[in-house]
Structure 1
């Protein structure tokens, strides 16, 4: 798909999307995959970053109207879920997978119905940095399946960043892609950007 000056691409999610953006500057894209995507598209295409560090799907729902719908995007990309898993293990805060899936589904339906936006859902990922993180897959595995079901149910394009990072880790090592297992390095962000561009048909 070729994006044009008529398009407004909005990326929303947690710290992986946020990546140090200046929240006082609406044009700030941060230093991660969103900037790399924008740099790969024609400069006339509007790209917005609405990631916020630490957010779970319930936080995303609370700000959906103001941070997503109000901007009238023609394409919405969501990356959410790793904090829903992480908070279970470091703070004992549950995010039941059925509730997570229902909430994500509502958000996707909302963007499709109210904005007519093309939808992309990036799959949350984990490249364990220590043995303790291996246990997270008990929660993240079912959550990944929930993300894919929600995407399918609402006509969203799944972006398999989880698989792309695992492939890259076999070549470069997990620590080179996400030193703490969650937050990508510059190389990790490049993999995310390339995976999104391929899924969106915006390469070549």
Structure 2
């Protein structure tokens, strides 16, 4: 995928995208993978114009929380590339709040959001899969919910011709040679290294796409 210096790249999702951004400042990118992507794009620009990067991640959100803000936070920006990272809270809330997010409903909602991007903009789509690096015994059982949810994300992304960033593969592979907490201290929220791996995986997919 060729990213032009005049492009607008929009990222939306949960806390992994949010990464502590200042929501009172529309230009704030947080301290995670979005900031790293923007920094690399700036370096590639060599002091010239770099693509605009917008972060609209909000901590704690599930896929249903994206729907009411999709027009203002995505469509109205007329982005050229939209990256979506969502799903782990849909699983997490089942275990800490008994708040269910049935996979079929999750898939339908995500599909509707991606369809709107295709129909209402000319943006190219990138989808980052949810991931988990279990660090507690309780998290070991989350796979019963997260595995089929990740499969739903894959199906939906492919149905909309989105590029896929397989965080669910990249981070577990990286954890094979080190403690999971080095990549995500609580199993969910990436460390600086975890965010760098996600950013690197994003570029690997985007740069290699025609």
Q: TM-score, normalised by structure 1?
A: 0.97
Q: Does 1:62 align with 2:65?
A: no
CA deviation map 1:57-115 (0-9, x unaligned): 00011110111001000100000000000000000000000000001001111011111
The whole-number CA distance in structure 2 between the counterparts of 1:49 and 1:167 is: 27
Aligned to 2:196: 190
Query: Retained in 2: the 8 A contact 1:161–1:192?
Result: yes
CA distance in 2: counterparts of 1:148 and 1:202, whole angstroms: 19
In 2, distance between residues paired with 1:202 and 1:44? 19
Q: Work out whether 1:15 is the aligned partner of 2:21.
A: no
In the alignment, is residue 30 of structure 1 matched against residue 30 of structure 2?
Answer: yes
Using the alignment, how far apart are the partners of 2:195 and 2:145 within structure 1? 24
Query: How far, CA to CA, are the matches of 2:3 and 2:127 in structure 1?
Result: 18
Taking the TM superposition and a 5 Å limit, the aligned residue runs for 1:106-145 are 106-145=112-151
Unaligned runs of 5+ in 2: none
Matches within 5 A, 1:161-200: 161-200=167-206
User: 1:2 Cα deviation (Å)?
Assistant: 3.0
| TM-align CA RMSD | 1.2
Q: Name the residue aligned to 2:5.
A: 5
CA distance, structure 1, for counterparts of residue 163 and residue 26 of structure 2: 26
Paired residue for 2:87? 81
Displacement of 1:202 in angstroms is: 6.7
Gaps spanning 5+ residues in structure 1: where? none
Q: Name the TM-score, length of structure 2 as normaliser.
A: 0.94
CA contact (8 A) 1:159 1:195 kept: yes
- Structure 1: 4+ residue segments shifted above 6 A: none
Contact residue 3 and residue 202 of structure 1 kept, 8 A: no
